[in-house]
Structure 1
């Protein structure tokens, strides 16, 4: 079981579903959410400057198409030298469309371990448990 997961999606229903499915499957002890990439980066910046060193997300479920800051822009920032202390986190792209161009682009980010179609499901989490040796 993971300690903490971060779900980044602009749809509150998707976030609620993520929390429910993850909690039910005992996949992670804690689930935090952000509604766009900027909000997620703010969370990491807070962790960076927080003296008591709160736990860091081990896995990020990331939507690509969001207002304010989308998934690709988030990844560009998150994989920069500013966030190297969080590089142990892995990313699962959760998208409503599986565009071949997006799949190809995802391969350029070593931090992305999978590209899955929304919504998150129990079998999907079982698959990820096996893939991540949890």
Structure 2
């Protein structure tokens, strides 16, 4: 079981579903949420700052990331993350969880080393069961 996961999506129903499915699958002890890429980046920055003073802070080991969001979309988040704080998250992976069917999105995701999977919404217990051997 992972310690901490971050779910980034602008849809509150998707976030609620993520929380329920992650809990049901016993996939992570703690689930953090952000409504867009900017909020996610600010949350991660604050965790990094807190971790410098408190070794008990758990940085997300996995990020479920939507692509199409207001303020900062998933791609903008990935670019900002990669150019600023990715060195603090060497063990962290991103799973794009999106409703897009555009093949160019799938191909673009392959350009980011941190992206490990590209999955279609909605998240399911079966998806997490398949991921457990990789992330446990």
TM range (shorter): over 0.9
Structure 2 counterparts to residues 11-90 of structure 1, below 5 A: 11-50=11-50, 51-53=53-55, 54-90=57-93
Tell me the CA shift for residue 82 of structure 1.
Answer: 3.3
Unaligned runs of 5+ in 1: none
Q: How far did 1:44 drift?
A: 1.3
Q: 1:133 to 1:32 in 2, by over 3 A?
A: closer
Return the TM-score normalized by structure 2.
0.93
Mapped to 2, the partners of 1:64 and 1:125 lie a distance apart of 20
8 Å CA contact retained: 1:8, 1:36: yes
Matched, 1:106 2:109: yes
Contact in 1 for aligned 2:2/2:135 (Cα 8 Å): no
Deviation at 1:102, TM superposition (A): 0.3
TM-score by length of 1: 0.95
Q: Structure 1: how far apart are the matches of 2:116 and 2:35?
A: 21
1:30-57 alpha-carbon deviations (Å, 9 max, x no partner): 0010000100111111112222141100
Q: CA 1:47/1:62 → structure 2, altered by over 3 Å: closer, same or farther?
A: same
| RMSD, matched Cα | 1.1
Q: Secondary structure at the match of 1:29?
A: strand
The number of equivalent residue pairs is 133
